Amino acid sequence: MNALYALFVVILLLLVAWIGIGTVNLHILFGIVLPYLAFAIFVLGFFYRIIKWAGSPVPFRIPATCGQQKSLPWIKNSKLDNPHNAFWTIIRMALEILTFRSLFRSTRAELRDDQRIAYGDTKWLWAGALAFHWTFLIIILRHYRFFAEPVPGFVLFLQNIDGLFQVGLPVVYITDAVIVLAATYLFIRRVFIPQVRYISLFADYFPLFLIGGIAVTGILMRYFTKVDVSAVKELTLGWINFNPVAPEGIGIMFYLHLFLVSVLFAYFPFSKLMHMGGIFLSPARNLANNNRARRHVNPWNYDVKTHTYEEYEDEFRDVMKEAGMPLEKE
């Protein structure tokens, strides 16, 4: 049901843009007002959540570790899996963010019919997730060509690599095929694996359909319905120069694409997509484990009122002596 609701909402969004542009001609609303609004919500919401997370106290040094901690010089420590300084913490973090290393090494458990537990790996999930995130990033970087004149070298480089298998014109991008396949795989996995389906919410399906919708409308626009790229560029350069115009004749598919992108941006700070920023603030990942080398005192500790044996004896010496109890000081 959650998947159906999410699909329904994305279809509804497409219908709203379709009616808004196709019949009511709200080009200024869909081409200027909503994109600006969505971008403002994205930036403010994103920073608000990051600042809130950054301000939460982390009184304990709690890195997640999977190897020998650095201690005595003759005990070999695992630098990467139990980083003891900033350098190795950054390396481990970079590998996590760029290659999803912990997902690669993760295991899943399954209770078989004969009541025995079987362990498997998560390599398919790892490959699907990695493909999804990397293609998303490359596509967004490639889109920079709409926002810069002249188009920067790194965008041309990405376009060349991505279009390596030149199949006809326009050049077919590898990332376009991969993002659709990866999103489909991630969706099918959620629906067909009972345990994953059980824990999947509307908030899990919705971003998947939304991004899928953005990719499909983009692909339709590039390879089938076609779009006037110079008109698009007039619009985007207008946005960034704060002198927006909504040129006629860009075509409805572009507005469907743009509206879904606007919804994604506005929804982003309120959703699980915030893991993009949150991963950097995860104390289990961003702290070095130097617990044996340095003493960390919980800053929340209040001054504990102690009563030493010495003080105790001073207080009760007379009574203790009377009762014949041994004393340390006469």
Question: Contact residues for ligand HEM (CB under 6 A)?
Answer: 136, 139-140, 142-143, 146, 173, 175-176, 179, 214-215, 218-219, 221-222, 227, 229, 232, 236, 254, 257-258, 261, 264
Q: Which is nearer to ligand HEM, 215 or 266 (CB)?
A: 215
Chain residue whose CB lies nearest ligand HEM: 218
Q: Which is nearer to ligand HEM, 95 or 141 (CB)?
A: 141
Could you tell me the smallest distance in angstroms from the CB atom of residue 113 to ligand HEM?
A: 42
Could you tell me the smallest distance in angstroms from the CB atom of residue 31 to ligand HEM?
A: 10
Could you tell me the smallest distance in angstroms from the CB atom of residue 202 to ligand HEM?
A: 20
CA distance 12 to 117: 43
Could you tell me the smallest distance in angstroms from the CB atom of residue 83 to ligand HEM?
A: 33
Q: Which residues are CB-neighbours of 288 under 8 A, at least 6 positions away? A: 63, 83, 84, 85, 86, 88, 89
Q: Which is nearer to ligand HEM, 182 or 219 (CB)?
A: 219
Q: Which residues are CB-neighbours of 175 under 8 A, at least 6 positions away? A: 135, 138, 139, 142, 162
CA distance 136 to 183: 10
Q: Which is nearer to ligand HEM, 236 or 289 (CB)?
A: 236
Could you tell me the smallest distance in angstroms from the CB atom of residue 167 to ligand HEM?
A: 14
* Start-to-end C-alpha separation, the chain: 81
With b meaning 16 or more CB within 10 Å and e meaning fewer, what string describes 260-288? bbbbbbbbbbeeebbeebeeeeeeebbbb
Could you tell me the smallest distance in angstroms from the CB atom of residue 25 to ligand HEM?
A: 19
Q: Cα 255 from chain centroid?
A: 26
Could you tell me the smallest distance in angstroms from the CB atom of residue 214 to ligand HEM?
A: 5
HSE-up of residue 253 (Cα within 13 Å, Cβ side): 15
Question: Which of the 8 DSSP states describes residue 69?
Answer: P
Q: Which is nearer to ligand HEM, 103 or 227 (CB)?
A: 227
Could you tell me the smallest distance in angstroms from the CB atom of residue 96 to ligand HEM?
A: 23
- What does the DSSP assignment read for 244-276? ----TTS-HHHHHHHHHHHHHHHHGGGSGGGHH
- Type of residue at 198: Y
Q: Which is nearer to ligand HEM, 125 or 179 (CB)?
A: 179
Q: Which is nearer to ligand HEM, 53 or 239 (CB)?
A: 239
Coil, strand or helix at 280: helix
Angle at 286 between CA 281 and CA 288, to 5 degrees: 155
CA distance 97 to 78: 20
Q: Which is nearer to ligand HEM, 59 or 170 (CB)?
A: 170
